[in-house]
Structure 1
């Protein structure tokens, strides 16, 4: 089974914008807002095929991230506390495995 590692490029000093992200993720994934992890601000990541045939070819996906180390079938995420990137010694860039 293929595995992809997704991360954001280093953008020094960039801060994600906050907002009604959980509602947007719920609309995109079809999950209720109550099912979206809202404990902290996060950058959410999902992967989908554009066409029905693409989705069928991809099959089910599991996202592994700090939000769901045991896997989540709907989304992965990068917590805001990793930003802004400051190139600190021994820092680890956040990523999501799909």
Structure 2
């Protein structure tokens, strides 16, 4: 289930503010997603970039090569809105199931 929602979670984090890969991983961990590893996040960021959902800028790094800083673009914002709509639908249906409603 998490794999299917991780794109939306990362887009939501980027909606708050642009970030680079390690920073996104740290934010995820702060939100309780401790089992997510950097490699997963970097692969996801590549997919989001290929889908055109994020913009990427290179920013100087204190150590080593420049960092790729990811920010949500217009297309990514629309995708995030779809994610929240779908998520709300799922939450509502799951709550009905939990409460024993069968409508």
Provide the TM-score with structure 1 as the length reference: 0.29
Bigger relative contact order (CA 8 A; separation at least 6): 1
The structure that is strand-richer by fraction is 1
The structure that is helix-richer by fraction is 2
User: Which of these two proteins has the greater Rg computed from alpha carbons?
Assistant: 2
